Amino acid sequence: MTKKLIASLLLICLALLPVCSLAAETLNIMNYGDYIDDQIIYDFEKEFGVRINYSTNDTPESMYTKLQTGVSYDVVVTSDYMIDRLIRENRIMKLDKSIVTNLDQLSDQVKNLYFDPDNDYSVPYFWQNVVLCYDTTKIDPEKVEEKGWSILHDPELEGHVFLYDSPRDIFMMALKALGYSMNTESRDELTQAYDWLVKMNQTIHPSFVSDEMIDGMAQGEKWMAMMYSGDATYASMENEKLTVWAPLDGTNIAYDNMFIPANAANPEMANRFINYVLDYPNSKRNTVLTCYTSPNAKVIEDLTAPGGEFEGIESYLPRSGYDKDEIYTDNELLRTETPELLVKVKLQ
Amino acid sequence: MKKRRAPKVLSSAYLIIVLLFIYLPIGYLVLFSFNEGKSMTNFSGFSLKWYESMFSNRMMIESIRTTLIVAVVATAVSTVVGTVAAIGLSKAKRIVRSIILEVNNLPVMNPDIVTAIGLMLLFISVKFQLGMLSLILSHISFCTPYVILSVMPKLRQLDDNVAEAALDLGATPFKALTKVIIPQIYPAILSGALIAFSMSLDDFVVSYFNTGAGINTISMYVYSMKRYNLSVNAMSTLIVVVVTLILILANLIPWIKDKKTQKEET
């Protein structure tokens, strides 16, 4: 009996193992979860004869931890302020622009960002901004547009709001509502933002959640949510009552870029993959499936034009060129203080 | 008589409530895996499309495979290691035994996150490349204490004289171990192995910190999903079915065996 059991267990292992070890050339990619059309991976594998090991993470911080463990990735997608930090820490390899030739397809709105002025180190993958996504049958659009972020101080919304449980984003909202920069270095402004948030929490008792708000809004659980525009696009395509508004107080424009870590094992193939993803047909199917905004100028133009997949979906194209909108910087004060302050806000 | 009955109704109601509490969520999950629409709350019609999308999703299938490989290997190794350790400990001096058993309890009581980060730092400091092997090793390390905990009490009930009798009658020590001791503690080994298997399947935190590029377990895959999709329900349903089948078999086989031996005896 025991022998048979052990023998059968060994057989199962043997049957499962070979698939893991047989591979010629491999490419290790790390991205956010649900952030790609899987078909792109399979097609790239076929075309270039490599095997892609694909991993996912949920925040730039957990990606950073993974990089620090010394695991070698070839292509990583992460957010602007984290790339800023990684470039300064010399953890990023320069792109090989003789391979990445599709840079010229990029929209001007996403090129040459502050942390990487000539796109020497990173290339935009998706971009979005933080918006208020709300149910027009429950809240009057005029009121939202007039009040901006301060609508979250309106007692009528009590119990009907989702907020994204991310310290930087929550404090961005408060700082913008008060007219400050979301990358402030001033403790005084931070304290005022804290007070603003305490008052908000006591007035509307929002639910601090994470990605479950996307399905929650799509299914009409709450009236309003502070969301990333790509998620809002998805939710508003599922639920027609939803619309979005980027408050005139200003908001965060977020760029998620691809880069090649300094310890990449296969940089040449990594450059090819980056170039492949930027190309019009691939960028198009990627954005259509995920609803996040493509950095490819022609893709944006075609999809928002009459007859395009995202025609009339306001959240698809993030506002750009508005001087109150900013991009996150790797700011030490905010990085270290906001998580603790947010916990305190929730306790009030 | 009447006085006796009332508590009986109460106790069966209590039992039903507890069972509902345990099984309703599973039933709900299974039901929605057959939903035609995307919704988790509106059942719009029967369809198998989420099963189809599960099987065509390579990442998901790979994560299921990784989870199973890790669980099976970790269970096999930790069961052997744990059983041998327990048998050795049962013959050790009292003081050694109690010290080691206390040390064995530590990882069981320790929060997963501490174990996870500790293992990760260990792997990094000895320059051990994180990957499949580190994942399996870390699972073995947190599964073994459970096997020892499960086997140890059964060993205490054993009559030492039986093993000694076997040796007197000419069995080699190894034979005495495999033919006399192990058959007597077999149920405890099996339950230890089952606990180890379910701990390994359940684990998220330790796996998350100790895996390498492209090696994901089911829990890691589901955790990093942004938008819930019902193929997770389909996958969970399959797991529930497989586990139920295994449990039924595990209960049926000894029962059939008993019947057979009874027949042979009569």
Strand partners, A75: A29
Q: Is the pLDDT of residue A135 over 80?
A: yes
Q: Are B38 and A6 an interchain contact pair (Cβ–Cβ within 8 Å)?
A: no
On average, the pLDDT of chain B sits at 89
pTM: predicted TM-score of the whole model, two decimal places: 0.83
Q: Is the pLDDT of residue A21 over 50?
A: no
Closest-CA residue of A relative to B228 is A215
Domains in chain A and their CATH numbers?
2-126+254-304 (3.40.190.10), 128-253+319-347 (3.40.190.10)
Q: Are B69 and A13 an interchain contact pair (Cβ–Cβ within 8 Å)?
A: yes
- What's the CA gap between B185 and B190, in Å, rounded? 9
Our CA-based measurement puts residue A30 at a distance from the nearest CA of chain B, in whole angstroms, of 8
- What's the CA gap between A170 and A172, in Å, rounded? 5
The residue among B224, B228, B230, B242 with the most chain A CBs within 10 A of its CB, best to mutate, is: B224
Are the beta carbons of B129 and B212 closer than 8 angstroms? Answer: yes
Q: Which DSSP state fits B176?
A: I
Cα separation of the two ends of chain B: 43
Q: What is the pLDDT of residues B209-263, one digit of tens each?
A: 999 888 889 888 888 887 777 888 898 898 889 888 988 888 888 888 888 888 8
Among B76, B220, B226, the residue with its CB nearest the CB of A34 is B226
pLDDT bracket for residue B23 (50, 70, 90)? very high
- What's the CA gap between A237 and A316, in Å, rounded? 11
The residue among A71, A76, A212, A231 with the most chain B CBs within 10 A of its CB, best to mutate, is: A71
Q: Are A70 and B58 an interchain contact pair (Cβ–Cβ within 8 Å)?
A: no
- Amino acid A23: pLDDT: 52
Site of tokens 């039992």: B15
Closest-CA residue of A relative to B130 is A71
Q: Are B72 and A13 an interchain contact pair (Cβ–Cβ within 8 Å)?
A: yes
Show residues of chain A in contact with B186, CB under 8 Å.
Answer: 2
Q: Tokens standing for A116?
A: 């990487």
What is the ipTM score, two decimals? Answer: 0.74
What are the φ/ψ torsions at residue B158 (nearest 5 degrees)?
Answer: -65, 145
Domains in chain B and their CATH numbers?
78-232 (1.10.3720.10)
Show residues of chain B in contact with A289, CB under 8 Å.
Answer: none
Q: What is the pLDDT of residues A44-97, one digit of tens each?
A: 999 999 999 998 888 898 899 889 888 899 999 999 999 999 999 999 999 999
Per DSSP, the three-state class of B166 is helix
